[in-house]
Amino acid sequence: MTEREIKKGVTELSPIEVYMLLPRTNCRECGEENCMAFAVKLVNRETALEKCTELLKEEYRESLEKLKELLAPAVKEVTIGVGSRAVKVGGKLVMYRHEFTYHNPTPIAVDVTDEMPLKALREGEESLLDRVKKIESFTYNYIGRDLRLDMVAVRSTSNDPATFKSAVENVLKATEMPLILCTFNPNVMEAGLVASYKRRPLIYAATKDNWREMAELALMYNCPLAVFAPNDLNLLRSLSKTLLEYGVEDLLLDPGTFPGKGLSDTINNFTMIRRNACKGGDELLGFPLIGTPITAWLEGGDPKEAAWNEAYVAAMLIARYADLLIMHNLEGWAQLPVLVWRFNVYTDPRKPVSVEAGLRVFGNPDENSPLLLTTNYALTYFTVESDVKKAGIDCYLLVVDTEGISVESAVAGRYLTAENIAEAIKESGIEKKINHKYLIIPGLAARLSGETEEELGGEWRVMVGPKDSSGIAGFLKENWPPRGE
Amino acid sequence: MKKEERTIKIGPKLLELLSKFGKIELEDVEIEAGELEIWVQPILRAAAPPAKVAVPPKPAKPAKPSAILEAPFTPLIEKYPEKIREVKLGATRSEGGSRGKTITVGGEESMSYYLFEKAPPHPPVIATDVFDMPISLPKAVKMHIKEVMGDPAAWAEMAVEKFGADLVTVELMSTDPLIKDASPKEAVKTVEEVLQAVDVPIIVGGCGDPKKDAEVFVEVAEMASGERVLLSSLTLDMDEAGVLERVAKAAAKHGHVVLAFTALDLNRAKELNRKLYPLIPEDSIIMDLTTAALGYGIEYTFSIYERARLAALMGDEELQHPILSGTTNAWAAREAWMKMGPEWEPRELRGPIWETVTGLVLLLAGVDIFMMMHPYAIRTMKKIIEEFSSMGKADPEKIADWVTVKI
């Protein structure tokens, strides 16, 4: 690691500064119009330095180094695993999402232990292979994307090298997902690494007692290393310094997750670390953070309550800087809000989550088919789309430009009004496609029905549809075709 | 929101350049230099100059350390120039009302729950929704309030005694011209009943029709004179309908607090506050910037609440008000109530955890008052708020060996 100047906050980085270090040949090899456009994209993290082929020439070596320094994120990006399922963690540029964008959505690992039976021996017993399969197949389709779990954390509860090695081998055979090897015993860890180092697992974890042995293993097997110092930031920072000196470059930091008493310490520890990294340029803390909501299960008690606690701790940690989570529950109801929240908070605030406005056609509508209306907020649109398709309805759907805002908020904020509905109808050319004048608006826009009829010159009838698009099929069954005047 | 989408972070040098040309075209986005500055500068100021940090010294041939190298941790503390205003809700007998206690919110001098920097002077509070007529509710909610549905006074009592609500929101849904069009007189009676049933401060929720809400709020304000209720909500639509002034003045005259509601747009939130300042004291305004449900736009809410707090602390006086979240909106997400496959059951838990997660992430974004519904969600929120009252309770021994624990 070279001694370097403290990184500038990303919000202070200017395209001019980047531009001055580029070859300025405007060769367009990168696909941009000119070097300035490339510089703007680099600063906005919308392209990669490697696209500039000129920069690879010897004469630009110094510039390239400087650019790499300039553009390095406050939190180092570390890769765990290999191939298409490898995960990148960290790589964070900013503290607040609105300042830029959060990169690398927090991967979620779910645990197995090395003492689980390979296959179930008794009815109802959970086997290693069943559990890995369950982690692998967990999926929820949310606005056209599959939300999934990402990794398997293999915990050694046996504390026996041979047992651990065999469990790791079995998991490797069962899945391509990246692994986290969890044991504080270096001998056990080495047995696991021998079996899996080619797949680049995360070593969890170095502590104040075993750091030297774990560092040797990380170097020998070339794998990333987690540092665990529960509620002791002095120790965590000291271990980070020590391990960097030792030569281990890819670190992850775990300041401890305290699910009950101590949750305020947990959230504040994560926040303090991230602030020092992002706003203070502290390189010893500029590594991805690991949260372990799985500790919610240490309290014992009702499994449903443990899953409940684990879920909200996970969501709070995603909001407050966890770059990787280790969890236990595989309950759909408890994982779903966590996965959806992760997806939401990692969307790019610079880009509206909207779809193009205009008229959409579903199935084979004719001149008697219904005309529905919705907004151009992506979540609203995809929800309506999926319901209409699922029900196999032949219809027209008018998507009104509400600047990417959902129906209820668009009505309240006047982004969906009688005026822009009337305008959308005129522009869409729908009047030439249907021979009726009935418009079905969302139930949440009921307030606009009268005004819209007025705005359309009294020729149209506005029907108030269901509040949720899952009710469209039922609504049409009862109300379409309309029963005259 | 439009502004937010367009904001591209650009350093001072480019800004200088821009000011010379007046405007510049970046890809397809046209930005006026002036507009850019307005939105970029608070952020630039917020990014503190990086402090000096210890970088490990690099010997010519690195020797592997044989002992832990000390590198103590010092938290980076920021001091913000300004703070959030304090707003008091409810009034006791000696203060001209009839409440058993009052609640003060706001007063924060730091980002939400940066306890290492500055603990908030008042904990966030929870208001429970109580409707003045039977309504359709998700099954998971309905099962807990079946016996009090349609009886707002009994519902309010249950919310306070059984669910532990700090405040009660009387939702005057029946006044909606499209539903029952109940008269202001009827609404006043309902509010009176609730005031008698519980002694916590109350929030009065309108139906969303600006003119009707104005009529109702003016009469409620007069009847409940001195009680310092929170009128939910006052909007720019009311201004457009020409009724904002009348409502705000009535609220001020009778010593109430108003909720200024805008839809995910800080410019409009500021605009509404500017309209309210001549009409009502600044310490009688709370803001609702819109809560979108988890899965249905919560990220907008999260970011706008963080931005509002940051801007307020940096000196934007028009945003220095406590913030309320209609967390009940979580139930607008179909995942909260819809029947799905067996692998997603039971929905009796899926619904309330949806509301809980919506509330907790917004707690971290800086919300002062939560409007909530499900008893499990309220219970968890209260537990976390209590836990967040201080630091220093973590016991490292408890989790030191989590790796080997049999679950």
CA B256 from centre of chain: 19
Instruction: Provide mean pLDDT across the span B322-351.
Output: 94
Domain ranges of chain B: 2-46, 86-387
Class of B86-387 in CATH: alpha beta
**Phi and psi, residue A460, nearest 5°:** -100, 150
Q: Is the pLDDT of residue B48 over 60?
A: no
User: Smallest CA–CA separation between B100 and chain A, in Å?
Assistant: 30
User: Smallest CA–CA separation between A6 and chain B, in Å?
Assistant: 7
> ipTM of the predicted structure?
0.86
pTM for this one? Answer: 0.83
Upper half-sphere CA count for residue B318 (Cβ side, 13 Å)? 13
Q: Do A265 and B391 touch (CB under 8 A)?
A: yes
Q: Do B9 and A99 touch (CB under 8 A)?
A: yes
A95 within 8 A of A33, measured Cβ to Cβ: no
Q: How many residues does chain A have?
A: 485
Which residues of chain A neighbour B56 with C-beta distances below 8 Å?
1, 241, 244-245, 284
Strand bridging mode B103-106 / B86-89: antiparallel
Q: Is the pLDDT of residue A319 over 70?
A: yes
Strand bridging mode A145-148 / A151-155: unpaired
Say how far apart CA A282 and CA A7 lie, in whole Å.
9
Q: Give the E-state strand segments of A191-328 in sequence order.
A: 202-206, 225-228, 251-254, 290-291, 324-327
CATH 1.10.15.40 in chain A is located at 10-71
Q: What is the DSSP code (8-state) at residue B229?
A: P
Q: Is the pLDDT of residue B233 over 60?
A: yes
Residue type, B349: L
The helix or strand, by DSSP H or E, that contains position A269, with its residue range, turns out to be helix A263-278
Residue B211's closest CA among B180, B177, B174?
A: B177
Task: Give the tokens for residue B334.
Answer: 């179909």
Determine the pLDDT at residue A7: 43
Q: Is the pLDDT of residue A10 over 70?
A: no
- CATH number of this structure's domain A10-71: 1.10.15.40
- A214-259 pLDDT, tens digit per residue, is 999 999 999 999 999 999 999 999 999 999 999 999 999 999 999 9
- CATH number of this structure's domain A358-479: 3.40.50.11600
Instruction: Report the percent of chain A where pLDDT is more than 70.
Output: 96
Read off the pLDDT band of A105 (50, 70, 90).
Answer: very high
Instruction: Provide mean pLDDT across the span A75-93.
Output: 95
User: Smallest CA–CA separation between B91 and chain A, in Å?
Assistant: 31
Q: Is the pLDDT of residue A45 over 80?
A: no
Interface with chain A: mutation pick from B27, B73, B78, B393, highest number of A CBs within 10 Å: B73
What is the number of CB-based contacts under 8 A between chain A and chain B? Answer: 345
User: Smallest CA–CA separation between B215 and chain A, in Å?
Assistant: 18
**Tokens 């959970």 identify what position?**
A126
Average pLDDT value over all residues in chain B: 88
Interface with chain A: mutation pick from B176, B399, B401, highest number of A CBs within 10 Å: B399
Say how far apart CA A71 and CA A50 lie, in whole Å.
12
Read off the pLDDT band of A380 (50, 70, 90).
Answer: confident
Q: Do B208 and A97 touch (CB under 8 A)?
A: no
Say how far apart CA B243 and CA B236 lie, in whole Å.
10
Per DSSP, the three-state class of A478 is: helix
Instruction: Provide mean pLDDT across the span A71-98.
Output: 93
- Candidate from B64, B346, B399 with C-beta closest to A258: B399
- B166-225 pLDDT, tens digit per residue, is 999 999 999 999 899 999 999 999 999 999 999 999 999 999 999 999 999 999 999 999
Determine the pLDDT at residue A393: 93
Q: Do A231 and B116 touch (CB under 8 A)?
A: no
A114 within 8 A of A164, measured Cβ to Cβ: yes
A77-345: which CATH topology? Answer: TIM Barrel (3.20.20)
